Amino acid sequence: MQDVLHALMWVALGSALGGPSRYFVSGVVGRHVGETFPWGTMVVNVSGAFVIGFVAAAASIDGLLPMPSAWHLGATGFLGAYTTVSSFSLQTMALVRDGQILKAGGNVALSLFLCLSAVALGFGIGAFSLGAGPA
């Protein structure tokens, strides 16, 4: 039970930081680029995918991260609250509902492509820069 409470503490701390970070980043992007397309959510999800790839590369190096606490804090807590699949889904549905089928399809395709690319890039850069060898 102590291990579960310890893990929960790290997840809660990461979540408390991830949610406000998502709000801030998405808002800054929306204010600068506009909100006719969900660019703020796109930037949050792609940057979150990149960071989780980098963290996964770090986690693959023995002794680099104090596992599992670092994973609970960073990946489960912070990135779980930071990335926004629920916002992505709601915004895509709103585009469809408003008859903007091409924008909705573009949001789905671009999100999938960019997020998968970002996680691979993050992992590759993480593995290379942290000395894990080729990804």
Q: How confident is the model at residue 62 (pLDDT cuts 50, 70, 90)?
A: confident
* pLDDT of residue 134 exceeding 70: no
Amino acid at 134: P
Is pLDDT above 80 for 58? Answer: yes
- Identify the CA nearest to 80 among candidates 26, 29, 11: 11
Residue 31 has pLDDT above 80, yes or no: yes
Confidence of residue 119 (pLDDT cuts 50, 70, 90): very high
Q: How confident is the model at residue 83 (pLDDT cuts 50, 70, 90)?
A: very high
Model confidence at 132: pLDDT above 80 = no
Q: What integer is the mean pLDDT of 57-86?
A: 85
The chain-wide mean pLDDT, for the chain, equals 91
Q: Are 134 and 127 in contact (CB under 8 A)?
A: yes
Q: Is pLDDT above 90 for 66?
A: no
The mean pLDDT value for 51-55 works out to 90
What ranges do the domains of the chain cover? 2-129
CB 26 within 8 A of CB 40: yes
Cβ neighbours of residue 16 under 8 Å, at least 6 residues apart?
Answer: 77, 81
Given a cut of 70, is residue 135 above it in pLDDT? no
